[in-house]
Amino acid sequence: MIDLDPVIHAPVRLRIVSLLAAVEEAEFGFVRDAVGVSDSVLSKHGSALEAAGYVQLRKGYVGKRPRTWYRLTDLGRTAFRTYVSHLQEIVSTSGLTVLQPEATPPVGNPASGVP
C-alpha cells in the first residue's frame, strides 16, 4: 500500500511545497503571507522541511536587513511529484481524474524565478 509522505501531507507544508515548486526561491515573508500562517508556524514547518532535506534555507541581506529565502531541493521536488502521483493514485480509485490529467510535465524548472 502506497503511503503519503507525512512530511508533505500536512496542509501547511503541502502549501509551502506547492508554492516553492513553482519558483526558484521565495522570501520568508512572501511564503508566510501566501500560505497564511504566522511567523512561528512557517519557521517550524520550514525547519521540518529542511530537516527532511526538502527545502534549503538561504540567509542573506536586503540592504542591511536579514532575509531568508526558501528553495526546494531536488529531493524536495521529487518528493513532491511522488506525493502528487500517490495522491492521484488514491483519488483515482474514486473514478475522478483530477490531478495531472496530462502526461507528466517537465518540472525541471528551467526558468521560474528571477535570476
- In the complex, the residues that contact a second copy under the rule CB under 8 A are 1, 3-4, 9, 11, 14-15, 17-19, 21-27, 29-30, 35-36, 58-62, 67, 69, 80-81, 84-85, 87-88, 90-115
Taking each helix axis from N to C end, the angle separating 39-51 and 11-21, rounded to the nearest 10 degrees, works out to 70
29 is a site residue for DNA (CB under 7 A): yes
Pick the closest to residue 74 from 12, 14, 21 (CA basis).
21
Q: Give Cα separations from 108 to 22, 25, 73, 104 (angstroms).
A: 10, 14, 11, 11
Q: In the complex, what is the shortest distance from the CB of residue 17 to DNA, in angstroms, rounded to a whole number?
A: 12
- Binding residues vs DNA (CB under 7 A): 6, 10-13, 27-29, 37-41, 43-48, 57, 63-68
